[in-house]
Chain A
Amino acid sequence: MLGILDTLREKVQKTEVYKSVFRHNYQDTQRNRALQIVDNVFLHLHPVRISRHATNIGFTWGMGGITFLLFIVLTVTGVILMFYYRPAAEYAYDDMKYLMNDVAFGPLMRNMHRWAAHAMVITVMLHMFRVFLTGSYKAPRQFNWVVGVLLLTLTLFLSFTGYLLPWDQLAIWAVTVGTNMARATPLLGSEGPFGPELGMKINNDVRFVLLGGTQVGPPTLLRFYVLHCIFLPLVGSTLMIVHFWRIRKDGGISGPDPDAKKN
Chain B
Amino acid sequence: MHNLISILSKPDNVPIVLMLVLTIFYTWHSLSRASKNDAQGSPDEAKLSDKVQVWPYLVKVEFLAALLVMAILTVWSITLNAPLEAPANPSLTPNPSKAPWYFLGLQEILVYFDPWIAGVTIPTLIILGLCAIPYIDINPKGNGYYTFRERRFAILTFCFGFLVLWVSLIVLGTFFRGPGWNLFMPWEEWDTHRVVALTNVDWSELFGVSTRRIDDSLNPAAMAIGAATILAWFSLGFIFYFWKRKTDIIRKLGPLRYSIVAALFLIMTALPVKIILRLTLNIKYILVTPWFNV
Contact = CB atoms under 8 A, between A and B. Distances in A.
Contact of A159 (B100, B141, B144, B147): B100
Nearest to B30: A133
Interface stretch (B78-86, B189-197, B213-221): B78-86
A208 interface: no
Interface string B93-129: 1100111111100110000001110111100000100
B50 interface: yes
Nearest to A169: B85
A261 B78 CA distance: 51
A132 B45 contact: no
Given A61-B26, A111-B80, A139-B143, A174 B73 contact: no
Interface in B1-47: 12, 14-15, 18-19, 22-23, 26, 29-30, 33-34, 42-47
B51 A52 contact: yes
A260 B46 contact: yes
A145 B158 CA distance: 15
B198 interface: no
A114 B12 CA distance: 9
A180 B100 contact: no
A58 interface: yes
A192 B117 CA distance: 10
Contacts of B102: 121, 156, 159
B62 to A, nearest CB: 6
Contacts of B121: 186
A177 B99 contact: yes
B127 A149 contact: yes
Interface residues of A, number: 106
A30 B52 CA distance: 10
A28 B121 CA distance: 57
Interface string A159-199: 11001001111111110111011111110010111100100
Interface stretch (B131-139, B224-232, B233-241, B272-280): B131-139
Contact of B98 (A143, A153, A174, A182): A174
Given A62-B65, A156-B102, A257 B144 contact: yes
Contacts of B166: 125
Interface residues of B, number: 95
A243 interface: no
A223 B268 CA distance: 34
Interface string B254-276: 00000000000000000000000
Contact of B144 (A97, A125, A136, A160): A136
B53 interface: yes
Interface stretch (A6-14, A15-23, A41-49, A230-238): A41-49
A110 B83 CA distance: 10
Contact of B115 (A51, A130, A156, A191): A191
A50 B46 contact: no
Nearest to B58: A55
B267 to A, nearest CB: 15
12 contacts: A37-B54, A100-B84, A111-B82, A115-B76, A115-B80, A122-B22, A126-B26, A134-B146, A153-B127, A255-B49, A256-B49, A256-B143
In order of increasing CB-CB distance, the 8 nearest A-B pairs are: A181-B119, A184-B115, A142-B134, A53-B48, A193-B292, A254-B144, A118-B15, A111-B77
